[in-house]
Amino acid sequence: MSKGRARGAYAQFSLPSLWIQAAALLLPALAQADSTPQPMAPNSLCIEEAGDCHPAPPPSPAGSKVKWHPGHYMLTPTIGKATDVELDSIADEPSVTGVKQRYWWAQLEPSKGQYDFSLIEHHLAKLKANGKHLIIVVEERTWAGTDPRKALPAYLGTDPQCNGGWYLKPSGGVVARVWEQGVMDRLIALHQALGARFDSEPYFEGIASEEVAPGASVMPDTYSREAIASQAKRWFAATHAAFPHTLVMLSVNTLIGQEAGLISYSAQNQGAVGGPDVLPPPHSGVVADRVLQGLVGGTDYRGQIPIMYDVQSPELCGKEGCFLPDQLYDHAVNTLHATHVAWLEMWVTKTAGSDKYSWGTGILPMLRRNDGKINTACPANLQGRCSTG
């Protein structure tokens, strides 16, 4: 079990000029003594229209490497509850590179600044023993109900810096107020603690954001697309700094007017981009998909940036259509040029035709037929830093 403490803001000091030299000598020692994870983002909330004040992540040290294990991953269907049976089921599957697992924020931070990463450690140990890799997401929302306690730490609701902590969506579900600085500071602190623990783990492949769109058409007065895009960049800058040897992905789907800026920001700062769904023709895809292909904005990012997509239930005979695994594979690998694809481990048995879309009888046989092939070339924005070791 890994536990630690974090504080949410830097202290502010005012030093007379006479003491500046002495302070310069003392501060490194103080920093070494107090190594608790802290948010590294700017104190002010930066809005796009007011000018860009997002810090770029610090440059990677010369000669440093980033873990690079492109492939097809199993996306477990239950958040925070991957079983040993699920993890062991891919042990002898050469067409499957690893697992993408989602964890509730409340699981990882049961109380303010107190972190419990024991479940991640258990999953990572199981995968490592089988030569498989792990990608994670911290879930900061639900899609049904009105109880935030399953997903979010209770302290967010009472902390004066967090403005209530969450928003109850009229359509159902709860989302953390990640478009506000106070809540994002706490999410950043968690990711800094995760980086301190897992960046050096060779089988910890990547960490992704939740999709940037909050999933509700009616939002509170403090929300704007500009604000959530700004905070997403803060998250990326701090998380990339905490994970200098690990892929960090912005999950960009639909955030009208902000998709191109988010993708460009990640591309320029050695990040990855992707989304929650693979949507082949006749679906036109979301704007972010078209931006990646250069159909919107004029920059083709394929081959220039790690591209990490999920195949989820909406396209597996859900609200977006009944696309066969072969169609999804072709679009993800050959059109989007994905480097990492996470396939939902869905077992559908309700109708005779549904076996075509399930993990065991549809997806996995398709991956085997294709020998798990995917785009493996090191993307240009990683500047030759890819390491398969």
Tell me the pLDDT tens digit for each residue of 186-198: 999 999 999 999 9
Q: How many residues does the chain have?
A: 389
3-state secondary structure of 70: coil
Q: For 10-19, 255-264, 303-312, which range has the lowest pLDDT when averaged over its residues? A: 10-19
The mean of the pLDDT values for the chain is: 87
**pLDDT at res. 51:** 44
CA–CA separation, 142 and 168 (whole Å): 10
The per-residue pLDDT for 29 is 38
- 25 pLDDT higher than 60: no
Q: In angstroms, rounded to a whole number, what is the distance separating the alpha carbons of residues 14 and 383?
A: 41
Taking residues 320-333, what's their average pLDDT? 96
Q: Give 311's contacts (C-beta < 8 A, 6+ positions apart).
A: 75, 277, 278, 328, 332, 341, 342, 343, 344, 363
Domain 70-141+182-384 has CATH 3.20.20.80: yes
Could you tell me which of 56, 62, 61, 44 has the C-alpha nearest to residue 238?
Answer: 56
Give the position of tokens 């969450």. Answer: 166
pLDDT at 52 over 60: no
Q: Where are the domains of the chain?
A: 70-141+182-384
What's the CA dihedral at 167, 251, 295, 373 to 10 degrees? -150
- Report how far residue 171's alpha carbon sits from residue 344's, in angstroms, rounded to the nearest whole number: 24
pLDDT confidence bin for 11, thresholds 50/70/90: very low
Quick one: pLDDT at residue 62? 65
Q: What is the pLDDT of residue 38?
A: 43
Backbone angles phi, psi at 318, to 5 degrees: -115, -150
pLDDT band at residue 340 under the 50/70/90 scheme: very high
Give the tokens for residue 299: 């920059």
**What's the pLDDT score for residue 39?**
46
Rounded Cα gap, residues 208 and 37, in angstroms: 19
pLDDT at 331 over 90: yes
**Does residue 282 have a cis bond before it (omega within 30 degrees)?**
yes
Please classify residue 27 by burial: count the beta carbons closer than 10 Å to its beta carbon, then call 0-12 exposed, 13-18 middle and 19+ buried: exposed
Residues 276 and 309: their CA atoms lie apart, in Å, by 6
**Separation CA 191–CA 162 (nearest Å):** 17
Query: In which band, very low, low, confident or very high, does the pLDDT at 243 lie, cut at 50, 70 and 90?
Result: very high
Over 70: is that where the pLDDT of 182 sits? yes
- 74, 116 in Cβ contact below 8 A? no
Distinct helix (H) and strand (E) counts, the chain: 10, 14
What is the pTM (predicted TM-score) of this model?
0.86
CA distances from 348 to 138, 317, 352, 369 (A): 26, 10, 9, 21
Read off the amino acid at residue 64: S
Nearest-CA neighbor of 362 among 384, 380, 340, 347?
A: 347
DSSP state of 220: -
pLDDT at 145 over 60: yes
Going by pLDDT thresholds of 50, 70 and 90, the confidence category of residue 179 is very high
CA of 179: how far to CAs of 185, 226, 235, in Å? 10, 9, 11
Q: CA angle 347-352-358, nearest 5°?
A: 20
**Residue 298 one-letter amino acid:** G
Q: Is 291 exposed, middle or buried (0-12, 13-18, 19+ CB in 10 A)?
A: buried
For tokens 């995760």, the residue is 194
pLDDT digits (tens, 9 = 90+) for 251-299: 999 999 999 999 999 999 999 999 999 999 999 999 999 999 999 999 9
As a whole number of angstroms, the distance between CA 160 and CA 163 comes to: 6
Split at pLDDT 50, 70, 90, the class of 349 is low
Encoding tokens for residue 16? 């007379």
Tens-digit pLDDT profile for residues 95-119:
999 999 999 999 999 999 999 999 9
Q: Is the pLDDT of residue 46 over 70?
A: no
Q: How many CB atoms lie within 10 A of CB 302?
A: 16
